[in-house]
């Protein structure tokens, strides 16, 4: 039996929005409380969770239209937010009498063009979107050849991809556009799609919830840093990340409340906005206030952009008319 589907106007899954909402909330918390066991536990699985969720929704589509759609919905907002926030960093830090992250426009141009590991400070999370886009395009290309995730060739190809990703992660932490992580992200996408076509979802999720609680209570988990190819002890850390992700999805299947679903629906803007808000507001707010500010400002930005044609198109990746 599949996770329960709740019909909505856009025919999306309520539990999926809720899971993304939990995930993005954990991302924000992990960027505010930057040390200790809570942060380590969050970093043990929060990025793999998003890749699994993206993989769950994957269906084979014609390659060219799919690439165009990915460009519009992911690449264009990535470029728009990056350009806007780099300019905002220059202006805000100048106003505060501080140095911006990039001391010269040559340095800023290099970092924006290379992206990934070259983006730091308020832009540190920007690696994720181009990595996700590249991995989704690769997954779709393989789905056109092998439409069923159960095909044995998927398992063979993903084993090779994972081995390549782990080798590259040991070799370097240089990651233009977050591409260093793609060979490991791709197997996570595949597992998401494989999970969708398997049975006994409620049993799997129930076991995952219980096992996740045991792991979180009994062990100090090793954090992952997928951005730079750090996967901890892969034989332990990656299976554990998958288990904790499924546990989170199990919780999301039970708690499909409105606030979490809203966070999930607006997770892309929160992903782009929350670190800059934390970066600029940290000297003036305590950590709890930072959490509220990061979420509130991101939601306000999303609301404002959704009511402007160019905002919907270039920042939200939505090409429908303003309602």
Domain ranges of the chain: 14-314
* β partners of residue 230: 225
Yes or no: say if 23 and 245 are a contact pair by the CB < 8 Å rule: no
- Residue 321 banded pLDDT, cuts 50, 70, 90: low
In 3D space, the residue among 47, 16, 42, 44 whose CA is nearest the CA of residue 29 turns out to be 42
CA 21 → CA 27, 28, 161, 164, distances in Å? 10, 11, 29, 31
Query: Which pLDDT score is estimated for 323?
Result: 46
For residue 245, count CB atoms less than 10 angstroms from its CB and return exposed for 0-12, middle for 13-18, buried for 19 or more.
Answer: buried
- Token pair for 23: 């995930």
Residues 54-81 as b or e (16 or more Cβ within 10 Å = b): bbbebebeeeeebbeebeebbbbbbbbb
Percent over 70 (pLDDT), the chain = 95
| Model confidence at 8: pLDDT above 70 | no
- For the chain, the distance separating the N- and C-terminal CA atoms, rounded to the nearest angstrom, is 36
Q: What is the largest CA-CA distance in the chain?
A: 59
Query: Which pLDDT score is estimated for 159?
Result: 98
The whole-number average pLDDT for the span 147-170 is 97
| Model confidence at 5: pLDDT above 80 | no
276-288 residue pLDDT tens: 999 999 999 999 9
Number of helices and strands (H, E) in the chain? 15, 0
In 3D space, the residue among 134, 78, 112, 87 whose CA is nearest the CA of residue 314 turns out to be 78
Yes or no: say if 131 and 179 are a contact pair by the CB < 8 Å rule: yes
In 3D space, the residue among 109, 124, 12, 97 whose CA is nearest the CA of residue 57 turns out to be 12
pTM, 2 dp: 0.93
252-304 residue pLDDT tens: 999 988 999 999 999 999 999 999 999 999 999 999 999 999 999 999 999 99
Local structure of 225: helix, strand or coil: strand
Yes or no: say if 226 and 47 are a contact pair by the CB < 8 Å rule: yes
- Token pair for 272: 């782009």
């Amino acid at each position: 039996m599949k996770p329960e589907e709740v019909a909505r106007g856009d025919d999306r899954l309520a539990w999926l929005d809720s899971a993304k909402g939990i995930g993005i909330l954990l991302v924000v918390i992990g960027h505010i409380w930057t040390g200790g066991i809570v942060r380590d536990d969050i970093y043990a699985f929060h990025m793999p969770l998003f890749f699994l969720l993206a993989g769950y929704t994957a269906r084979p589509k014609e390659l060219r239209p799919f690439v165009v759609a990915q460009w519009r919905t992911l690449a264009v907002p990535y470029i728009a937010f990056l350009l806007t926030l780099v300019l905002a960093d220059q202006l805000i830090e100048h106003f505060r009498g501080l140095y911006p992250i990039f001391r010269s426009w040559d340095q800023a141009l290099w970092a924006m063009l290379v992206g990934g590991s070259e983006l730091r400070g308020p832009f540190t999370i920007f690696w994720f979107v181009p990595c996700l886009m590249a991995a989704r395009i690769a997954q779709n290309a393989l789905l056109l050849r092998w439409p069923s995730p159960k095909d044995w060739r998927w398992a063979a190809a993903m084993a090779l991809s994972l081995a390549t990703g782990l080798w590259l992660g040991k070799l370097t932490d240089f990651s233009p556009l977050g591409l260093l992580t793609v060979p490991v992200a791709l197997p996570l996408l595949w597992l998401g799609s494989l999970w969708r076509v398997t049975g006994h979802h409620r049993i799997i999720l129930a076991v995952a919830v219980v096992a996740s609680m045991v792991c979180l209570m009994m062990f100090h988990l090793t954090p992952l840093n997928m951005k730079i190819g750090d996967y901890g002890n892969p034989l332990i850390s990656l299976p554990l990340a998958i288990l904790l992700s499924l546990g989170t999805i199990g919780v999301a299947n039970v708690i499909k409340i409105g606030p979490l679903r809203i966070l999930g629906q607006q997770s892309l803007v929160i992903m782009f906005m929350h670190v800059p808000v934390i970066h600029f507001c940290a000297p003036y707010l305590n950590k709890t206030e930072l959490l509220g500010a990061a979420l509130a400002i991101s939601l306000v930005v999303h609301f404002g952009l959704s009511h402007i044609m160019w905002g919907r198109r270039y920042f939200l990746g939505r090409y429908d008319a303003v309602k």
